[in-house]
Amino acid sequence: MTSGIGPEALRGTEAFMRAARNLQLPSNPRLIFERMAEFQESMRTSVQELAKQTFDGSAENVDVTATVTVYGAVTEIRIGTLAKRYTDNLTLGEAVVEAVRAARANAQNAWVERMTGTDLFGVSAGAFIPPPFS
């Protein structure tokens, strides 16, 4: 029986451990707690702001656009009139999948960019993001 931990998860753990070793902790414990509280509030604000946003992605050769939340939930699919008329069902379905994947990639990039802009003791929060996002 396997543990369920794949190579991607292990790479994330290794990245986490490398980042944790690079923390530059102040010698005063009070400063550590103050900085951690500031970091937590900064992260909370970042996540709340990202949760309010939506992200678009388009198919390359067909007029299809998808909109998703930062968590990847699809909120809208737009198919152009000409695409509805002249594109076969299979191609249209593939275009929808392509547009959703592009939108989710844009959402993930925004997440990583936002987290990279926040740091804790000299280490970017982006260093703690697991591999599927980073």
| pLDDT tens column, 60-94 | 999 999 999 998 999 999 999 999 999 999 999 99
| pLDDT value at 2 more than 70 | no
- Average confidence (pLDDT) over 6-11: 49
Measured distance CA(99)–CA(94) in Å, rounded = 9
What confidence tens digit (pLDDT) does each residue in 10-51 have? 455 666 666 667 677 777 888 888 888 988 898 889 889 999
In a 3-state reduction of DSSP, which class is residue 22? coil
Residue 53's nearest CA partner among 3, 123, 103 is 103
Q: How confident is the model at residue 59 (pLDDT cuts 50, 70, 90)?
A: very high
What local confidence, expressed as pLDDT, does residue 11 receive? Answer: 52
What confidence tens digit (pLDDT) does each residue in 94-112 have? 999 999 999 999 998 998 8
What local confidence, expressed as pLDDT, does residue 46 receive? Answer: 87
Measured distance CA(61)–CA(55) in Å, rounded = 19
Cβ atoms 15, 127 nearer than 8 A: yes
The beta-strand segments (E) located in 39-114 are 54-58, 64-69, 74-79
Residues 6 or more apart in contact with residue 56 via CB below 8 angstroms: 65, 66, 67, 103, 106
Domain spans, the chain:
28-127
Cβ atoms 120, 23 nearer than 8 A: yes
Instruction: Supply φ then ψ for residue 5, to 5 degrees.
Output: -100, 110
What local confidence, expressed as pLDDT, does residue 36 receive? Answer: 85
What local confidence, expressed as pLDDT, does residue 61 receive? Answer: 92
Q: Which fold has domain 28-127?
A: Ybab; Chain: A; (3.30.1310)
Cβ atoms 55, 127 nearer than 8 A: no
